[in-house]
Amino acid sequence: MRFTIDEQLADGRGRTGTLELAHGVVRTPAYMPCASRAAVRACPPGEIAAAGVQIVVANAYHLHLRPGEDVVGDCGGLHRFMRWDRPILTDSGGFQVFSLADRNCITEEGVTFRSPVDGHEILLTPELSVQIQMTLGGDIAMPLDECCPCPAERDYVERSIERTLRWAERSLAAHRHDAQRLFGIVQGGVYPQLRARSARATAELGFPGFGIGGLSVGERRDEMLVALRAAMAALPADRPVHLMGVGTPLDIVDCAAEGVDLFDCVLPTRNARHGGVMTWEGVLRIAAAEHERDTRTLSEECDCPACAQGFSRAYLRHLFRIKEPLGWQLLSLHNVRFYTQLLERVRAAIAADALGELRAQLSAWSERDRA
Ligand SMILES: [Zn+2]
């Protein structure tokens, strides 16, 4: 893996870069759609690549449950299994396990939970998560970390970042893969000092890149940005940073200004499933009666398969209302393309030192928009 910084904001940490991974080059900042179960929902990989996607995120938790990492490994690894030849980042599954809070039990060893598929008990340890991800064979793997609920008391968060650090060391010791890089994860809740401490200690372990976890989980937006800045200031500036699970278009512009290089977010595909069409003018509800005879495409500024082939809002509204999978696919591809186009504009704006102007183009989006 090689990471080169290409352009840097005159004022601030925001930068564009080139991340060279085993399966190709990623221009950063980049958006990574979720392919948690080895598919960007409803979308063939060729169409996802044509929509400008450079890298996707798969999930060790989901793929361990079904079909099992051994099945994927025996079928030639995740890239071959899902017919995606560009880079893949795999997440540890920690966030998914911890979001089933009523059913998990955390010990120093790992986290125990019941499989939602067949109810059997699974102990997910840092070593098992690394083992699953090595078998899947993604370009970037993430160590198991403890995701604190929000809100969480400072004492609890402090103990949890210490545990996450011990798990990070165990993950590093278990990780042996020539073509895959293991990133470290920074936690620390909304507490800037804990964020800085977690970032410094994680960096000292020598990871080639970092994830920042536990943000955009219910805290206020200003708290998120303060915590992010504290973490970024304590991380080495020459390593790539992935802000996990963030966010809305405005979040992405503001966090890219802070130097974040990689974003993953379910909003484009989740919105598509609920008929939310993302545009430069905000979210358009395809089911709304006003689109019944609307022959316009979703957006004049979009070149996704739905817009490029001239599918009308009236037709897409019809497909959505009859729950036709073609409608889901076209809306998903449109929203994914909106995000890759957004990141193209973020990269151009950083190079031109004009992020403020790009932010103004998103004035229809409010800071509270979540879906
Ligand atoms: Zn489109």
CATH 3.20.20.105 placement within the chain:
2-265
Predicted local distance difference test score (pLDDT) of residue 366: 80
How close is the Cα of 277 to the center of ligand 1, in Å? Answer: 9
- Segment 100-114 shows an average pLDDT of 85
Predicted local distance difference test score (pLDDT) of residue 371: 40
145 is known as an active-site residue: no
Judge whether residue 154 has pLDDT over 70.
yes
Judge whether residue 369 has pLDDT over 90.
no
Is domain 2-265 in CATH 3.20.20.105, yes or no? Answer: yes
Judge whether residue 325 has pLDDT over 80.
yes
- Alpha carbons 230 and 208: distance in angstroms, whole number: 19
Range list of β-strands (E), the chain: 2-8, 15-21, 24-28, 30-32, 56-59, 88-91, 105-106, 111-114, 121-124, 140-141, 181-182, 184-186, 210-212, 241-243, 262-264, 276-279, 282-285
222 is known as an active-site residue: no
Predicted local distance difference test score (pLDDT) of residue 98: 85
Predicted local distance difference test score (pLDDT) of residue 147: 85
More confident residue, 101 or 285: 285
Read off the pLDDT of residues 197-243 as tens digits, 9 standing for 90 and up: 999 999 999 999 999 999 998 999 999 999 999 999 999 999 999 99
Judge whether residue 8 has pLDDT over 50.
yes
Predicted local distance difference test score (pLDDT) of residue 60: 97
What's this model's pTM, rounded to 2 decimal places?
0.97
Which tokens hold the place of 45?
A: 């990989």
- Interhelix angle for 249-256 vs 325-351, to 10°? 30
Predicted local distance difference test score (pLDDT) of residue 101: 58
Predicted local distance difference test score (pLDDT) of residue 102: 63
Around ion ligand 1, residues with a beta carbon closer than 5 Å are 298, 302, 304, 306-307, 334
Cα distances from 297 to residues 269, 301, 307, 313, 330, in angstroms, run: 19, 10, 6, 6, 12
Active-site residue (options: 139, 145, 251, 264): 264
How close is the Cα of 298 to the center of ligand 1, in Å? Answer: 6
pLDDT-derived band of residue 97, with 50, 70 and 90 as boundaries?
Answer: confident
pLDDT-derived band of residue 158, with 50, 70 and 90 as boundaries?
Answer: very high
Read off the pLDDT of residues 329-348 as tens digits, 9 standing for 90 and up: 999 999 999 999 999 999 99
How close is the Cα of 284 to the center of ligand 1, in Å? Answer: 12
